[in-house]
Amino acid sequence: MGIPGSGLAKGLAVTLRTMTKRTVTEQYPDVQPELPSRTRGVIGLFEENCTVCMLCARECPDWCIYIDSHKETVPPAAPGGRERSRNVLDRFAIDFSLCMYCGICIEVCPFDALFWSPEFEYAETDIHELTHERDKLREWMWTVPEPPPLDPGAEQPKEIAAAQKAADKLAAQQAKEAEEAAAAQQAESGQAGEAPQAKDAGEEA
């Protein structure tokens, strides 16, 4: 404030400065947008990992996942063994007109069969066509980006942390054993060497 009219000049300066800067307009159909790596565009199914455990369908808040399966018996791996039964996926479909992109199915999947993909261009003219079957969901897997690197100073992923812990424990145990062994050895040789020394001392005294 102070000089009258300085506010007016400030206003002009703001617009002029904005004019010299880059615009923020996305030219979408011509230029694809740069999406962040965790974008929730569509859900991809890595069906090789799916065991038809149905956890995703049960946890889905709006019941938009449809799963059909049947059981097959697998002959025993070794002669004389027992026959095993296995679930085979018949149908896996997600109705994206119901899906609210909460991602609970992806969180809950214990076998890493569901993934977020940043793909978003799957609009349809009919709402029924938004129910996408397993082949389409499998195709979207190819658009899933590799997981982004961890933030600096972040916690390690669980798998690595667990493995690390086990390795550390093993290493600590081995070190302890080695130490104990070394101590025992030293104690043995020390007892052997200490007695004559004491004797010498006694003689001198």
Partner 1 sequence: MSDTLAIVLRVLAVFVIFLVFPLVVGQTEHKVMAHMQGRLGPMYAGGFHGWAQLVADGVKFAQKEDIVPAGADRRIFQLAPAVALLPYLLVLIAIPVGPGNAVGQALDAGVFFVLAVMGVGVLGSLMAGWASANKFSLLGGLRTAAQLLAYELPMLLAAASVAMAAGTLSLPGILDAFQWWWVPWQIVGGLVFFTAGLAELQRPPFDMPVADSEIIFGAYTEYTGLRFALFLLAEYAGIVVLCALTAVLFLGGWHGPFGADGLGWLWMLLKTVVLAFGVIWLRVSYPRLREDQLQKLAWTCLIPLALAQIALTGVIKVVIS
Which positions lie near partner 1, rule CB under 8 A? 8, 11-12, 14-16, 18-19, 21, 23-25, 27
Is the CB of 24 or the CB of 198 nearer to partner 1?
24
Helices (H), the chain: 6-20, 55-59, 104-108, 134-140, 158-204
Q: In what order do the strands lie in the sheet with 65-74?
A: 65-74, 84-95, 131-132
Is the CB of 18 or the CB of 197 nearer to partner 1?
18
Nearest distance in Å: CB 19, partner 1: 5
Q: Which residue has the tokens 């669980």?
A: 158
Nearest distance in Å: CB 28, partner 1: 12
Nearest distance in Å: CB 71, partner 1: 58
Is the CB of 12 or the CB of 78 nearer to partner 1?
12
Nearest distance in Å: CB 24, partner 1: 5
Is the CB of 15 or the CB of 191 nearer to partner 1?
15
| Angle ∠(20,23,24) on CA atoms, nearest 5 | 150
Contacts of 156 (CB under 8 A, 6+ apart): 150, 164
Cα distance between residue 34 and residue 74, in whole Å: 47
